[in-house]
Amino acid sequence: MSRTTKGRSTAVGLLSVAAIATATGCASSAASTPTQTTGSGKVVVGALSNGAGREATLTVKPVASIRAQLPAAVRKSGKLVIGEGALPAGFPPLAYVGTDHQTLTGAEPDLGRLVAAVLGLKPEVTNATWENLFVGIDSGKTDVGFSNITDTEERKQKYDFACYRKDNLAFEQLASSDWKFGGDYRNLSGKRVAVGSGTNQEKILLSWQKKLRAAGKKLTIVHYPDQNATNLALASGRIDLYFGPNPGVQYDVTQSAHTNRPTRNAGQWSGAGASLQGLICATSKKGDGLAKPVAAAIDHLIRTGDYGKWLAAWNLSNEAVKTAAINPPGLPLSDS
């Protein structure tokens, strides 16, 4: 589920990004607002989403035993600095500027705020370019990144991971079609499929095309300059399917629901391939002691049901994990 074969996992280039993230010139630091986190232990998720999410208010109390696991310096600071790599345009539904044109909203900052609430810390959400997100983590200015970061073996050389979502790709098709992927590339025979050029998903699709060709079958791969062009091709029937990051597909499905050509998710595939379930993880500097309490906070949210409510608010329930793994096997170095 990567934008490139280097392992960045984003939903960049989704339908109407420019219309949703109109404040692309927002400051590099966008602090959370009372709209999303209150002093009463209530965290609002899905806020300011412009229809990409469903707003819900969750009550999350600090857990002393988990807070006690925090590094002393973070506990003493009283805040959790949450890093996003969503500049310049954002990537709905994961991280983008909300309808107030200043607050960073999306599934990723929302989970960061929920984790901060469990840890009894004030969330401070900062936004930067993808590259500068990691500069912030390296320098210690950012405590933890919640920015759709894929677990890779290359990254684990510098960072610790507490994983909270499956890193999945998905097929999008018109809702009027009953085709299903079913986890079997052979079902793609005879299809015209659009995919982003130079992406991890293109690499996977090309490998399937080669297998089908060896069996005397045809899979046509198509490229378009942007997501809007892809969506128009799907709506007009010029392609059968779009293959891209699952969050982006889920977003497109919500945006098309009230049009005359609604789409649906026709099946998922791990961004790491057939042999490994890719994972999206909270990312902190290696050895700084944050991965364990962050994972414990996520596990607490899973047990209370607030994790499920967070996923549902952003239409990402199909990426749920059962537990927050710490530094699990990641995308191999050869694929990172």
Q: What is the mean pLDDT of residues 92-111?
A: 96
DSSP H or E stretch at residue 145:
strand 144-145
Q: Are residues 143 and 289 in the same domain?
A: yes
Q: For residue 262, give the CATH number of its domain.
A: 3.40.190.10
Q: Are residues 254 and 291 in the same domain?
A: no
- For residue 40, the model assigns a pLDDT of 73
- For residue 92, the model assigns a pLDDT of 95
On the question of pLDDT at 191 being above 80, the answer is yes
Q: What is the mean pLDDT of residues 292-308?
A: 98
On the question of pLDDT at 315 being above 50, the answer is yes
Residue 56 lies in a domain: yes
Q: What is the mean pLDDT of residues 241-268?
A: 97
Q: Are residues 154 and 99 in the same domain?
A: yes
On the question of pLDDT at 32 being above 80, the answer is no
230, with CB counted inside 10 A (0-12, 13-18, 19+), is buried
Share of the chain above pLDDT 70, in %: 88
Q: What is the mean pLDDT of residues 43-55?
A: 96
β 79-87/122-129 pair status: parallel
Q: Are residues 240 and 290 in the same domain?
A: no
Q: How far apart are CA 119 and CA 183, in angstroms?
A: 38
Greater model confidence, 9 or 63: 63
- For residue 23, the model assigns a pLDDT of 34
Confidence of residue 179 (pLDDT cuts 50, 70, 90): very high
Q: Are residues 301 and 208 in the same domain?
A: no
Residue 1 lies in a domain: no
Q: Are residues 49 and 153 in the same domain?
A: yes
Q: Are residues 32 and 135 in the same domain?
A: yes
- For residue 336, the model assigns a pLDDT of 55
What lies within 8 Å, CB to CB, of 55 at 6+ separation is: 44, 45, 46, 47, 49, 313
- For residue 37, the model assigns a pLDDT of 62
Q: What is the mean pLDDT of residues 108-114?
A: 98
- For residue 16, the model assigns a pLDDT of 37
Residue 327 lies in a domain: no
CB 90 within 8 A of CB 17: yes
Q: What is the mean pLDDT of residues 84-99?
A: 96
Nearest to 53 by CA among 318, 320, 310: 310
Residue 61 lies in a domain: yes
Share of the chain above pLDDT 90, in %: 87
Q: Are residues 41 and 103 in the same domain?
A: yes
Residue 241 lies in a domain: yes
Of 230, 250, 270, the residue at which a domain comes to its end is 270
On the question of pLDDT at 106 being above 50, the answer is yes
Q: By mean pLDDT, which of 18-27, 72-81, 189-198 is the weakest?
A: 18-27
Q: Are residues 75 and 112 in the same domain?
A: yes
Q: Does the pTM exceed 0.75?
A: yes
Q: Are residues 77 and 110 in the same domain?
A: yes
Of 270, 302, 329, the residue at which a domain comes to its end is 270
CB contact burial 48-62 (16+ within 10 A = b; e otherwise): bbbebbeebebebee
Residue type present at position 189: S
On the question of pLDDT at 62 being above 90, the answer is yes
Mean pLDDT (the chain, rounded): 90
Q: Residues 135, 16, 321, 114: is their CA dihedral positive or negative?
A: positive
Q: What are phi and psi of 84, to 5 degrees?
A: -120, 145
Of 270, 297, 328, the residue at which a domain comes to its end is 270
Phi-psi label, residue 263: left if phi above 0, alpha if psi -120 to 50, beta otherwise: beta
- Structural domains of the chain, count: 2
Q: Are residues 150 and 178 in the same domain?
A: no
Cα-based distances in Å from 86 to 127, 268, 327: 6, 24, 24
Q: Are residues 31 and 156 in the same domain?
A: yes
On the question of pLDDT at 292 being above 70, the answer is yes
User: Hey, how many other C-beta atoms are within 10 angstroms of the C-beta on 273?
Assistant: 17
Residue 262 lies in a domain: yes
Domain enclosing residue 82, as ranges: 17-167+276-319
Residue 203 lies in a domain: yes
Q: What is the mean pLDDT of residues 253-259?
A: 94
- For residue 39, the model assigns a pLDDT of 58
Residue 205 lies in a domain: yes
Q: By mean pLDDT, which of 25-34, 67-76, 281-290 is the weakest?
A: 25-34
Q: What are phi and psi of 323, to 5 degrees?
A: -155, 160
